[in-house]
Structure 1
Amino acid sequence: MAERKTLFITGASSGIGEATARAAVAAGWNVGLMARSADKLDQLVQELGSASLAVAGDATDLVAQEDAIARVAAHYGGLDAAFANAGMGVETPGTEAGDPEEWRRMIDLNIMALLYTTRAALPELRKTKGQLVLTGSVAGKVHIAGSIYGATKWFVHGYAGNMAQEMREWGGRCTLIAPGMVDTPFFSEPKPEKLQAEDIANAVVFALSQPPRAAIPEIVVMPMG
């Protein structure tokens, strides 16, 4: 039986992160789960068992991410993949009507926290020729009137391509996951006719399951409805 690989996930307490934790464990991975909601992480670990480790913390804190990744790598003997998934939108869209403090929180989470995951994980991923997975969005591929959220995802898309080039130099891979609308707590109203978090989790596991010769730079997942 092959040794279990280990995946670190931010935003792991709900939505895409939680679904990916379940899908990865089912596919034979260990998972390190980071989010601010310690109680939700503990419940998920109770469900997933010894293949999961909760490392509660704020993804917008570089030291917290470094500590979380160090704990996960020490616990499972290394790190094979990191999924920078934590993100948020805004309640008040637009530039004139928008809330600059809300912009700052969104940029801290959608951009800075993703950079922190990458920075903290790369030393471990280099040891395993591992993989970085970033949650982008179809909003990072098209122009949406006045969308500052979409602009943060354009950053993620550009950065993912740049990291794929850098990681290739030492045998690592970077995959961007770009979902269309997903029915998750990201939205205040349920959207049951749209994609489910499990659909995106399946795309992450697909990318992680490819042989070392195959790089998957981007996966776009769109709802049929």
Structure 2
Amino acid sequence: MSMLDPSTLTLLVTGATSGIGAATVRRFASAGARVVAVGRRAERLEALKAEFGDLIHPLVLDVRDEKATFEAFASLPAPFNAYNVVFANAGLALGLEPAYAADLEEWKTMVDTNITGLLVTVRASLPAMIERKQGHLVFTGSIAGDYSYPGANVYGATKAFVKQFSLNVWADVAGTGVRVTNIEPGLTETEFSMVRFGGDKERADKVYAGATPMTGEDIAEQVFFACTLPRHVNINRIQSMSSQQSFGPLAIKRDPV
């Protein structure tokens, strides 16, 4: 089996300023791929540019902004405009309160970022790859899209949407030269929990205490694997967990005896 040469790949990576996104930019650029690094924090994008030079095109953008996203993707300079991998990675979790106590604004933000931002990214980038008859859409899902846990209400629902959307898009594009993969990590230590808990480091650290979680680099390696397989191979889903994580028992809320 002949793997694809990473230097033939040009990626467009959203959520590139931290965690899985930044690790993926570094993994591919270190292998010679070109990367359009998309995010909202200009200084972090410039740091990636300083690290890898002409292989990186920084793009300061909020993918929830439909008009700005379509315009930015359409005006990318050569050779970055010939992207053949789009990693729609931008997303977040906010809060861990039960549905009856959750912050409605946090729910809306998760929907806007995890769903609307994803849809805008795909619709703005996919037609060009279809026209070129070569491309790969990669999404960041989560095991939360399959397995429920208390407090995951809207976050888990958005990741279930990502999972089903990825499969439905694959049904649409099969045979066009475009592939679709959903990456579904479990326990992974990035800035994820810091964002979820509003910058509360102590609370965020407790999520990983006593465990060896996966890292952004671990997930980036999965993206790299899926994208460098021969073009006749499509990986529909990659679901992974820390080796210390598994499935929980079904909850039974018993009446007091």
TM-score range, shorter chain: over 0.9
Give the aligned residue type for 2:150.
A
Conserved 8 A contact 1:42-1:54: yes
CA shift, 1:67, in A, is 2.8
* C-alpha distance in structure 1 between counterparts of 2:64 and 2:228, whole Å: 28
Matches within 5 A, 1:1-225: 4-72=8-76, 74-126=78-130, 127-145=132-150, 147-188=153-194, 189-190=204-205, 191=208, 193-225=212-244
On the 8 A contact 1:79/1:128 being kept in 2, the answer is no
Structure 2 portions without partners, runs of 5+: 195-203, 245-257
User: Across the two proteins, how many residue pairs are aligned to each other?
Assistant: 224
- 1:107-138 C-alpha deviation (Å, 9 max, x unpaired): 00000000111001112211142000000000
Residue by residue, what CA displacement relative to the aligned partner does 1:39-87 show, whole Å, maximum 9, x if unpaired? 1111111111111110101111112222332344634351101000011
What residue identity is the alignment partner of 1:185? E
TM-score, normalised via structure 1 length = 0.94
In structure 1, what residue type is equivalent to 2:212? Answer: E
Q: Give the match's secondary structure for 2:37.
A: strand
The more displaced of 86-95 and 132-141 is 86-95
Task: Describe the SS at the equivalent of 1:55.
Answer: strand
Q: Give the 3-state SS of the residue equivalent to 1:187 in structure 2.
A: helix
C-alpha displacement of 1:211: 0.7
What is the root-mean-square deviation in Å for CA atoms of aligned residues? 1.6
Change (3 A) 1:99 1:181: same
Task: Give the percent of matched residue pairs that are identical in Structure 1 and Structure 2.
Answer: 38
Offset, 1:142: 1.3
Query: Which protein shows a greater Rg?
Result: 2
Deviates further, 66-75 or 31-40: 66-75
Q: Aligned to 1:200, what secondary structure does the other structure show?
A: helix
Counterpart residue identity of residue 10, structure 2: T
Q: Which runs of 5+ in 1 are unaligned?
A: none
Q: Which residue type is aligned with residue 47 of structure 1?
A: E
Q: Deviations over 1:138-184 (max 9, x none)?
A: 00011223521101100000001001111114121100000001100
Q: Is the 8 A contact 1:14 1:185 kept in 2?
A: yes
One-letter amino acid of the structure 1 residue matched with residue 93 of structure 2: G
- The Cα offsets for residues 173-205 of structure 1, whole Å up to 9 and x where unpaired, read as 100000001100011224372000000000001
Is the CA contact (8 Å cut-off) linking 1:5 and 1:30 kept in structure 2? yes
Of residues 176-185 and 70-79 in structure 1, the stretch that sits farther from structure 2 once superposed is 70-79
**TM-score scaled to structure 2, two decimals?**
0.83
The alpha-carbon deviation at position 216 of structure 1 amounts to 0.6
Tell me if the contact between 1:11 and 1:34 (Cα under 8 Å) persists in the aligned partners. yes
SS of equivalent residue, structure 1 residue 202: helix
The more displaced of 108-117 and 123-132 is 123-132
Shift of 1:219: 0.7
